[in-house]
């Protein structure tokens, strides 16, 4: 598939055509001649690079509005109760919703840590976005819990790193302390 975007204004203020071949920018410049399958006249519009959201918990889109205007301790207590109700299906649906909302706003890549990360990764794969994803390891409960958390994280990385045509980077994501 090829797409020619004509007469776009770049961040520099210069006018340019942009030729896309597949998912790559093939050429930029003035008056590109092309037999592109699709053409868009971008006169009066700005062409921006995709935005990157560097801190998300995509599935939490389902909890939007449930813990507004709270101090951190109260917010955490409320959110933890809500999170206990979430199933893998909820995580998938909330992540898919977040992906759609990010795409609509111009975000093409995001970083996410949560639980049931296989579901988040599947939503990313379906969306066409790029993501850096990590299982949110929480070290609460001693050696057995620690070993379990590490195992889940390692398995997620083995399963998903480089998947979705290289759009998914799987990483470790140890949770921070609350001080």
168 within some domain: yes
Map residue 167 onto helix, strand or coil.
coil
Q: How many domains would you assign to the chain?
A: 2
Map residue 146 onto helix, strand or coil.
helix
46 within some domain: no
> Is pLDDT above 90 for 23?
no
Phi, psi at residue 46, to the nearest 5°?
-105, 135
> Is pLDDT above 80 for 54?
yes
pLDDT of residue 138: 85
**Average pLDDT, integer, range 20-27:** 91
Residues 21 and 84 in one domain: no
Residues 33 and 81 in one domain: no
Residues 82 and 168 in one domain: yes
Map residue 38 onto helix, strand or coil.
strand
Closest CA to 57 of 129, 110, 118: 110
Q: Which residues pair with 24 in a beta bridge?
A: 21
**Average pLDDT, integer, range 55-82:** 93
pLDDT of residue 33: 87
Position with higher pLDDT, 145 vs 169: 169
Residue 31's domain comprises: 2-41
> What band does 176 get if pLDDT is binned at 50, 70 and 90?
confident
> What band does 35 get if pLDDT is binned at 50, 70 and 90?
confident
**Average pLDDT, integer, range 50-61:** 97
pLDDT of residue 178: 67
Q: Which CATH number do you get for residue 130?
A: 3.20.20.140
pLDDT of residue 179: 61
- Dist CA 11 CA 88 (whole Å): 41
Residues 140 and 56 in one domain: yes
Residues 117 and 77 in one domain: yes
| % of the chain beyond a pLDDT of 70 | 99
Residues 37 and 74 in one domain: no
């Amino acid at each position: 598939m090829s797409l020619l975007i004509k007469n776009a204004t770049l961040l520099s203020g210069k006018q340019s055509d942009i030729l896309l071949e597949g998912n790559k920018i093939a050429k930029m410049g003035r008056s590109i001649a092309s037999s592109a399958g699709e053409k868009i006249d971008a006169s009066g519009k700005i062409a921006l690079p995709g935005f990157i959201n560097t801190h998300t918990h995509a599935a939490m889109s389902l909890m939007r509005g449930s813990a507004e205007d709270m101090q951190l301790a109260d917010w955490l207590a409320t959110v933890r109760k809500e999170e206990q109700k979430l199933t893998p299906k909820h995580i998938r649906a909330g992540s898919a919703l977040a992906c759609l909302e990010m795409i609509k706003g111009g975000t093409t890549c995001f970083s996410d840590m949560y639980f049931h990360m296989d579901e988040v990764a599947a939503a990313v794969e379906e969306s066409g976005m790029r993501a850096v994803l990590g299982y949110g390891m929480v070290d609460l409960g001693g050696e057995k819990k620690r070993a379990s958390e590490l195992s889940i994280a390692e398995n997620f990385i083995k399963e998903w790193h480089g998947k979705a045509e290289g759009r998914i980077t799987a990483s470790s994501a140890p949770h921070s302390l609350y001080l």
